[in-house]
Amino acid sequence: MPPPKVSGLHRRSLEPIDTPSRLLLGPGPSNAHPTVLEALSRTPIGHLDPLYVELMGEVQELLRYAWQTDNRLTIPMSGTGSAAMEATLANTIEPGDTVLVAIKGYFGLRLADMAGRYRANVVTIEKPWGEAFSLAELEEAITAHKPTILAMVHAETSTGVCQPMDGIGDLCRQHDCLLLLDTVTSLGGVPLFLDAWKVDLAYSCSQKGLSCPPGLGPFTMGPRAEAKMMGREGKVPNWYLDVTLLNQYWGSDRVYHHTAPVNMNFGMREALRLLAEEGLEAAWARHRGNAERLWSGLEALGLELHVPEPLRLPTLTTVRIPEGVDGKAFSLHLLNKHGIEVGGGLGALAGKVWRIGLMGYNSQPNNVDRLLNLFETELPAFGNGAPTTAAA
């Protein structure tokens, strides 16, 4: 046999991995809680070990609490939030189903793209990036298009808008339409009441309001969506995300489906336990209080916030980059000199806004004050002297 090839990397000595400490105040991920990191570092156990099976049940119950739902099918998908997003669509769409996607930002566009890949008849309605839909606008579209599913984003990470939910679930029930909700940037930090809002499908992620590293995608499916899935004519067209199979692993049977990321679920269990220990109402109030501290501080510096106050997300704030300021250069300065990550705009808001996240463990007054101090003292060097005139 020939000797194994030697890679270019192997020819030189590599040091052990060494990453700098960062304060992640962008759109995600957030910094993981130390207790979560400790759980992640524990020795793995088997994914069918009775102790792990018990932990799986605890994770499911804690997710139900975080979402305020009694949905039987509530599980963390082995994948990032985008995997959970795709799971909601893969399991419920059959070819030819009409899916109405209410787009008000980048992740509404992703929902529409995914739905089309499952051969849905995708219909979209759109709002400018920074606004939300009214109940009347949604009713008009549902009445006109008679969709099987209405898909929309509760907390739009690209814009910082929180969609008001009053009446939308009732509207969908009146028109025999499933309500699918993206809660990626709201779970753990923004009031969520899936059952009271009559939400049929929802998904989220591990790395934002829950302050666990990326790698799991919380997923939940209510009875109406479950009936739609079980009544489909063919198999779910995605084996890995097929909830009819995953249900056997996460349900009472515990039938092997895939090798679950055991340590990620250790971390998720601890993240959710910490949330339950704090209490949902206390966590929501903490996020709101720190966001208001940030908003008032930025406005006192003459900076303009992109979203009107009633629609602002407590977890993600979009700040308009002042006229003449090099927003990307300032973000890089914060990262390289101070170890602080602040996000830039996506899609229609690229180059127009900064996105500041205060999520989970990072939603603390000292983080707000530290960032405001840097905006006050160091931003003037990146434009026309001072942040006094915000771009329109």
Structure tokens belonging to residue 247: 């249900």
Instruction: Calculate the CA 59 to chain-centre distance.
Output: 18
pLDDT at residue 100 in the model: 98
**CATH fold group of domain 23-27+280-382:** Aspartate Aminotransferase, domain 1 (3.90.1150)
pLDDT at residue 392 in the model: 29
In the chain, CATH 3.40.640.10 covers 34-276
CA–CA separation, 229 vs 101, rounded Å?
19
Specify which residues 35 forms β-bridges with: none
**Three-state DSSP class for residue 180:** strand
pLDDT at residue 6 in the model: 63
CA–CA separation, 182 vs 186, rounded Å?
9
Cβ neighbors of 91 (< 8 A, separation 6 or more) are 221, 225, 229, 236, 241, 242, 243, 244
Q: Which CATH number does 34-276 carry? A: 3.40.640.10
CA–CA separation, 375 vs 297, rounded Å?
10
Query: Per the omega criterion (within 30 degrees of 0), is the bond before 261 cis?
Result: no
- What burial letters (b/e) apply to 203-226, b meaning 16+ CB within 10 Å? bbbbbbbbbbbbbbbbbbbbebbb
pLDDT at residue 385 in the model: 45
- What burial letters (b/e) apply to 156-190, b meaning 16+ CB within 10 Å? bbbbbbbbebeebbebbeeeebbbbbbbbbbbbbb
pLDDT at residue 286 in the model: 98
Model pLDDT for residues 91-136, shown as the tens digit of each residue: 999 999 999 999 999 999 999 999 999 999 999 999 999 999 999 9
In the chain, CATH 3.90.1150.10 covers 23-27+280-382
Nearest to 108 by CA among 91, 122, 87, 94: 122
Model pLDDT for residues 238-256, shown as the tens digit of each residue: 999 999 999 888 877 778 8
Residues with pLDDT less than 50, the chain? 385-386, 388-392
pLDDT at residue 390 in the model: 37
CA–CA separation, 279 vs 277, rounded Å?
5
Rounded to 5 degrees, what are φ and ψ at 382?
-110, 15
